[in-house]
A and B are shown apart, each in its own frame.
Chain A
Amino acid sequence: MSVREPVLSVRDLVVEFSTRYGPVRAVDGVSFDVYPNETLGIVGESGCGKTVTGLSILGLIPSPPGRIVSGEIRLGGRDLARMPEEQLRDLRGHEISMIFQEPMTALNPVLTVGSQMVDVLRRHKQYTRRQARAVAVEMLARVGIPVPDKRIDEYPHEMSGGMRQRVMIAMALSCDPKVLIADEPTTALDVTTQAQVLEQIVKLQDEFHMAVVLITHDLGVVAETCDRALVMYCGEVIERADIDRLFEAPRHPYSRGLLDSIPRLRDDKLAELPVIPGMVPDLAHLPSGCRFAERCPRAAADCRRERPVLDGGPGSPAAVSCFHPLA
């Protein structure tokens, strides 16, 4: 084991939303570390809590109805979970940045790309307007936008989806953050554009030595870009492993089921795709035992009675939360 220090540590994070049916735990005891220069994937299906985890790190949970109930989010010796909003604002876009699925809603439609980028730079760095603009142009060039000194004066609607996502990335990286949280950054894009944007993120990570937390539902994207990954289900991390291990020998039956049910290009056509039977349980009515038991081919009596926990802490190389894991 190396002695490198994590740049970001999340411990026992619990996030609740109040709903008509009472409080619902979208994130229920999530812990993980992110190291400099690594890409950590958080993967899972809709409602598993992956996006809420990402938003909590930046203090972006809409409150009310949401709130961080307990847990720590440590970045450089500070606990972001307890930090007042003004201090968080200094951090966001500076030490820690986030990019979202839909760049059109994340960019301001009535301001040019340039003025938005200049605002971010001047908020965090002591730049003059001219200096900030020069940095912005350079950033646009680095994310692969052709003729950046022209396109900087365009409005978001004048750009294609792929371009807008590049602008978002340029803006997110302009203050040289330590951590980039990317929430489904390529989900709204076509596959050929997705390939361009993912390639760009990997390349920039090497240049900026930042840590990336990549939140996605797409295991293909995880396999191609991440070093390690967390698999989430119903607000919990159910497996954590490095990518080789997760894809070669997943230990949680849910991870296995997810991998098997992805339609993928294959040489022989299958009559039926493998499926995970049933559906994700309602967060407001969770079973008391393992949350996956109802859909699990390996479930036994103990799974319905007790709730399994991860068998290793955040520092361990791999962990699974299952009474009957796969070998």
Chain B
Amino acid sequence: MSTPLLKVVDLKKHFPVRGGLFRRVQARVRAVDGVSFELERQRTLGLVGESGCGKSTLGRAVLRLTEPTAGAVHLNGEDVLALSPEAMKAKRREMQIIYQDPYASLSPRRLIGQTIQEPLDVHGIGTSAERRRRVEDLLDIVGLRKQVLSRYPHEFSGGQRQRIGIARALALNPSFIVADEPVSALDVSVQSQVLNVIARLQREHGVSFLFISHDLAVIQHVSDDVGVMYLGALVEFAASEDLYREPKHPYTRALMSAIPVPDVKRKSKRIVLGGDVPSPMHPPSGCPFHPRCPEAMPQCREVVPPRVNAGTAAKPHYVRCHLYSDAGTAPA
């Protein structure tokens, strides 16, 4: 088998919580707590979960925008976490990010042309004429006209700003982009336009995405594989069609049934979960989902469920739940 584009092994990011007289570390927030996955070239991994589940931190840790506490990240076969600052800067050409808030992620005092060209300047790519041509190509890819180059961010709507953010992320021809809730701030009619741009980039430009969203329907539209996060851990991971056809983890099922469906005929039977997501500072014992799980069993309170493959060797469907524990433990 060829090496995957991205390989993440047992990645952890813990934030210290300081307090008291001497600002001692009093606790740790385990925002990301042992996440492993692989992403093949030209594929999109959708990462879904509720606020505070650690999905954004995971995205940032993979890019080393926040230094992971432990674990390994391999991009194109190279250990990203072992790179020197110099080498890291070069590596960043291969990995980019698109942010959620198109209002906060563009510098208000820079012309759009400068913003999109900045990565090319920083990495000293091409002559200035070549750079300018590249910027025009980028605008074309994301569906904006040339006239936008000499304008400022405030002159644009949210959807257009998000296209500008995408163009900037594409400037260095990265093989991998983390898209952190890229359409959550947009209205539905514009949201679908931007989703189509992202799907086309993957298809026509061979970019792989780690696409982070709280919205299972959005994730389904763009993803080949899907990971579901709860309290810093991947509780389910499978090919998109398998996960949506047969969600296995009770949390995934609840999440799916909770989506309000814009269809008056299909009044779905809803699993309404009790309570709230617990604090990652004090995660429950055993399975972190057990206090809210409609199918919790006595062992769930005590034993952390291992990751098992509840699918087949050819089509793995990983899940962390005691309902599937006898399916045999898969190597973590």
Give every chain B residue within 8 A of A261 (Cβ-Cβ).
188-189, 191-192
Give every chain B residue within 8 A of A262 (Cβ-Cβ).
188, 192, 217, 262
| Contact code string B245-273 (vs A, CB < 8 Å = 1, else 0) | 00000000011111111111101001011
User: Are A198 and B260 within 8 A (Cβ)?
Assistant: yes
Query: What is the bound-complex CA distance between A90 and B195, given in angstroms?
Result: 47
Query: What is the bound-complex CA distance between A272 and B192, given in angstroms?
Result: 9
Number of interface residues of A (CB under 8 A): 46
User: Are A224 and B220 within 8 A (Cβ)?
Assistant: no
The distance from the CB of A266 to the nearest CB of chain B, in whole angstroms, is 7
Of residues 210 to 240 in A, which have CB atoms within 8 Å of B's CB atoms? Answer: 217-224
A155 close to chain B: CB less than 8 A: no
Give every chain B residue within 8 A of A192 (Cβ-Cβ).
50, 254-255, 258, 272-273
Could you list which residues of chain A lie within 8 angstroms of chain B, going by C-beta atoms?
45-46, 160, 162-163, 190-196, 198-199, 217-224, 243-244, 247-248, 257-259, 261-266, 269-277, 279-280
Query: What is the bound-complex CA distance between A276 and B159, given in angstroms?
Result: 12
Question: A45-B189, A196-B273 in contact; A190/B214 too (CB < 8 A)?
Answer: yes
Give every chain B residue within 8 A of A271 (Cβ-Cβ).
199
Looking at B217, B254, B260, B274, which has the most chain A CB atoms within 10 Å of its CB?
Answer: B260
Question: A263-B221, A265-B259 in contact; A195/B272 too (CB < 8 A)?
Answer: yes
Question: A163-B276, A262-B188, A263-B192 in contact; A247/B214 too (CB < 8 A)?
Answer: no
User: Are A257 and B264 within 8 A (Cβ)?
Assistant: no
Could you list which residues of chain B lie within 8 angstroms of chain A, going by C-beta atoms?
50-51, 157, 159-160, 187-193, 195-196, 199, 214-218, 220-221, 240-241, 244, 254-265, 267, 270, 272-274, 276-277
User: Are B264 and A244 within 8 A (Cβ)?
Assistant: yes
Can you name 9 A-B pairs with beta carbons within 8 Å?
A46-B187, A193-B50, A218-B260, A247-B263, A257-B189, A263-B192, A265-B217, A273-B221, A275-B189
The distance from the CB of A247 to the nearest CB of chain B, in whole angstroms, is 4
User: Are B190 and A279 within 8 A (Cβ)?
Assistant: yes
- Given A193-B276, A258-B188, A275-B192, 5 extra CB contacts under 8 A: A192-B254, A265-B256, A265-B261, A269-B240, A279-B190
Residue of A nearest to B270 (CB): A195
Question: A195-B272, A257-B189 in contact; A269/B220 too (CB < 8 A)?
Answer: yes
User: Are B188 and A224 within 8 A (Cβ)?
Assistant: no
Contact of A224 among B192, B214, B244, B267 (CB under 8 A): B267
Give every chain A residue within 8 A of B277 (Cβ-Cβ).
190
User: Are A196 and B220 within 8 A (Cβ)?
Assistant: no
The distance from the CB of A148 to the nearest CB of chain B, in whole angstroms, is 15
Residue of A nearest to B156 (CB): A279
